[in-house]
A and B are shown apart, each in its own frame.
Chain A
Amino acid sequence: MKFKFQTYKKKFRLYILVIICLCFNLSITTICYGQSNNSSASIGIPIKAKLVSGLTVNKERNLRFGTIIQGNGKVNISPTDVNAGLFRIVGRKGSEVYCNLTPPKNLVDGKGHTIPFNANAAYNNKKRDPTTAIQFQKASGAVDGFDLKANPQNNEAEAYIWIYGSIDVGKIKPGDYTGTFTLSVTY
């Protein structure tokens, strides 16, 4: 009888211990669940922007054929000529710049008379030096892009474009003939 009671006592203690453990686990589980509040959530969404310096083009010099005698024939202005037109482009260093050239087909006197203009253009993206300028494959419309490089002379990211060409002065009505060469640039 004593033996049996001892056995029950041990089993009873064991049950109590198991119950205590279960209660402890339950309480821990409840506490943990209460902390995991997923009735709310938050998120961070990236905002990105790449800021670049503006791109500007300014005329530095007009293309001037000067005074030509009627019937003189073909007159040519080269990029190294002081009368060649010149644009300066300033922008972000290393950025590729695309140009669109719009030369006039004719120079006009406003009285209905015209002189055909054969345009050419060249660029230098290293320095202001027409002798090392690279001629565009064509002088009208979109042309090949080039990178803006820092000019060692002033450390600005710039490029120069010379406009030049030729006119054929035959039996042209005397007068002042003009035209407009437009250069548009974009990154």
Chain B
Amino acid sequence: MIKKQRIIIFIWFILSPVLLLAQTASSDQASISVTISKGITVSKTSNLDFGTVTINTGTATVNSTDSKAGGFDISGSAGATVDITLPEKVVLSDQSGHTVSFTPATPIYNQQNNQSTANTFSSTNGGSAQLNTTNGELYIWFGGSFDTSGLNPGSYAGVYTAKVEYANS
């Protein structure tokens, strides 16, 4: 008998919150919403390659519209706005401790993979741009220049780092 009572008490203990809720007659509904954005991916489309440059011939330049320009492709949620942060300076170096200061040109962007119809950012540091409203793509190209005066011969390389994030994320 005591055991039976214990079982009843146990069941009451489990169900009591439900019963208490049932006693509150008032009810309402709240909608719950969430927007799931596609993650951003960035992939390189081309290196910036100056090719062979002769020393002491002034400034070596590759424009953002040139075929030698570097480029990358941003992929994300269609129509989303992204903030793109780009470097002001890049140091190129050879294997012997020599360096060259590379100054990026103002980059260009396009929702289509078409360099010739691209728009220009307002700053060399990048800016905001909208991803393609259909496929979520955005293409970026960048050039730059360096002074060839007094440099040492050799193969120089550096990395142009681009950071992309959703605006107001």
Contacts and interface: CB of A to CB of B under 8 A. Distances in A.
A152 B41 CA distance: 55
Contacts of B166: 39-40
B151 to A, nearest CB: 5
B163 to A, nearest CB: 4
A43 B44 CA distance: 7
A45 B57 CA distance: 26
A52 B153 contact: yes
Given A5-B3, A39-B165, A42-B163, A49 B42 contact: no
Contacts of B115: none
Contact of B57 (A38, A41, A48, A54): A54
Interface residues of A, number: 24
Given A40-B169, A47-B92, A53 B54 contact: yes
Give the dominant DSSP class at A's interface.
strand
Interface string A1-19: 1100100100000000000
Contacts of A45: 44, 46-48, 70-72, 142, 159-162
A171 interface: no
B93 to A, nearest CB: 11
A51 B55 contact: yes
Contacts of A38: 39-41
Contacts of A136: none
A50 interface: yes
A55 interface: yes
B156 A50 contact: yes
Interface string A26-64: 000000000000111111111111111111000000000
Interface in B114-138: none
B161 A54 contact: no
Contacts of A105: none
Contact of A52 (B48, B53, B70): B53
B156 A42 contact: no
Contacts of A46: 47-48, 70, 157-160
A76 to B, nearest CB: 38
Nearest to A1: B3
Contact of A47 (B42, B152, B157): B157
25 contacts: A2-B3, A5-B3, A39-B165, A39-B166, A40-B169, A41-B39, A43-B162, A45-B161, A47-B48, A47-B157, A48-B47, A48-B48, A49-B50, A49-B60, A49-B100, A49-B156, A50-B53, A50-B156, A51-B52, A51-B55, A51-B148, A52-B52, A52-B153, A54-B57, A187-B54
Interface of A: 1-2, 5, 8, 38-55, 92, 187
Given A39-B40, A41-B165, A51-B154, 14 more contacts: A1-B4, A38-B41, A39-B169, A41-B39, A45-B44, A45-B47, A45-B70, A46-B159, A47-B102, A49-B92, A49-B100, A51-B151, A52-B55, A54-B55
